[in-house]
Structure 1
Amino acid sequence: MFPTIEYLEWIAGKPEAATHDLGSSDLRGTFQHQRGPIPGRLAGLDDPPPERDLDRQLADCYGVDESNVLVTAGATMANFVAIATAIQQAGDTGDASGPQVLVEKPGYEPLRASARALGGRVDRFLRPPEDGYPLVPGRVEAALMDDAGLVVTTNRHNPSGEFTAVETVAETARAADDYGARVLVDEVYAPYVTDLTTDGPFGAPTAAGVENTVVTGSLTKFMGLGGLRVGWLLADADFVEAARSVAWHLPALAEPSVALAARALEHREELVPAQRDLLAANHELLAGFVAERDDLAGEIPPGSSFGFVEHASVGGDDLAARAWEEYDLLVVPGRFFDRPEAVRLSLGRSAGHCEEALAVFGDLLDTLS
């Protein structure tokens, strides 16, 4: 019933083992995943008062009510619970393969794998590479069927890094509602913005509160606190209550992680600027590197520290394999994201580490010219 998630099995352990890491998309900087009980950035910081628990903090952060918040063991659990809840609410469609779950393409493999595992019939809608991977509400509407239960998208788009305006997400949600479906928006990369034009969570726009959407997020990517394994789901109160019932079937989030996540959110005004600086530095490194290489096709979206690139003559699998085997360099094959001709480059380590890793990648590319 549960299909193998090839990307997660492939990537496991590689960021820690690589000498040169261009595969880690979380902004961990000089910090590795948590090795002690308290991440170094949180040591010595005060805990919030008892009345400001994690649910209350997230509600304040996103401008919603606490009844709209469900804290989960990471965004992976949040997405899983959201998909399971939507499929359950879609009910018996009369199709043995279950209700339609419409997932973007290119896309993040676990989102479609989980939908299949939970009994959904996965169909795809295209985010066209030739146009810069936009979310086009008309493409979603054209692909929706009468038995649709859920539309799944990411913002920033994982894996291209393209950002979608909240107004476009809202238009997509309205189109889905005509078919009785919700829209799940995975926003783990939404805070990856360098041009701050909003007072939203972590300084970034969000679809939280947009009618007919379910939003997921975590502290793993932008905050670089993957060791805590803390995520969340935001939706209308009825959906959250149904999702809470589904979540009882899964392991509970550990109390120390909840406490440390609350500490991180309590001090986010102090912690976010360093993350924003790292994002800006790594974006400039990656965008500059890609722009200077005549043998690479691809553009890095403004403010993004990750994106797709395609070599003129070598496919994604071969390029990633040579990088790993000959240079101890981690880049991710695009086949895990529906783009086998490409690789995904992600700069999450310190700017110094990423600059050296890009130089090594450049040496590899020079041997292919």
Structure 2
Amino acid sequence: MSLGGLRPYSVARDPGPVLRVMNGMGLWKAVLSGGGEPMIEPEFCERFVHEIDSPALEEIELITAAHFASDEKETRVRLRRLVDAWRTRGAGLAKARFSVRISLDWFHAQRIGVEPAARVIRMLGEDDMREVNCYLRSVLLDKDTTFEQLSEALGGELTPISDYQQEIRLPDGRSVLVYHKNLIVDGRMNDRKLSRLPVTIPTASRADVFGQRFLDGEGKHVPARVYNGPQVKHLDGLACLIEDSGKVRILEGNDPTRSPDVREHRTWQEAIEYLYADPVTVFLVDEGPQALAALISDAFPESVRIAADTNQLYHLTELLLDTPAKRLYATLRTLRLHQEQGRVTAPEGAVEAAWALLRAEGVAGSDGG
């Protein structure tokens, strides 16, 4: 209900390691995101916007639920400080755009209403802040009137949805993009709870349908290689996350038990070498979690069902590799593939010893070592 009730972030207490690693990543886009609310730590957000850099950096984005916009005065102070931090970036830093993405959906609106989001949008229309891009991200639900309410509060006109997108056309000539994604039915939300609500999930919001947007030319979805924003981009780089703990993850792209830490791996080069020493990570970056599910399904048949049924993009790999036996089996299967491709060598004695451990646990697949 308010920022005061949210837990502070540990990385914000020591921002140097995060910025040092990220500034060596060769970023195209740098995002201050959640798993919470970044504006719990406004000073960290301002420093990030002011200092994040890479030669090819095009955009800096802040994702917020607009909890901070509780009144006019507080909203103006917080937005102006962020905009000033962006405008006063050093002369040698990349000339990146600055965007504010507001997270708003039926669930947010039940807690805080649409006025905080409306307040941010109105204020970013003022002359001295109009250069800042602003858009909204929601989840696609039937019987959801959140954006009709927001459009009415702004005196705007809401366009129909097309390809999960619509616009609020404002009286001042701006258009604010609204991008819808699928609802994650997992963790705090489940089918039983959803059945009690006045909103429902349309077919277009199912993960298997929504996921069609991200398929590449070969019909594959490799989350580590895709920017899953309003306009999907297939990239040569990696979609990475740095968590509150300082752990670096590749989006659905590394063994969840093997992540570098920005406090221990002082450069991106050290972090990526640590990540790529793991054959599961290399396989996930090349092929994606759906392919991993298929690869280990001979020993763990439930993997295909998990991959098909999991209605989200951020924790599938954790579910597929949720036991030591699954992680070891996946490691050995991917290692064998990389050996056959001539990408790596491995001591056969150690590999056979690992297969023997699995056999002793009753794990047997089509490749038994």
Q: Give the TM-score taking structure 2 as reference length.
A: 0.31
Structure whose alpha-carbon radius of gyration is higher: 2
Higher-RCO chain (CA-CA 8 Å, sequence separation at least 6)? 1
Q: Give the TM-score taking structure 1 as reference length.
A: 0.31
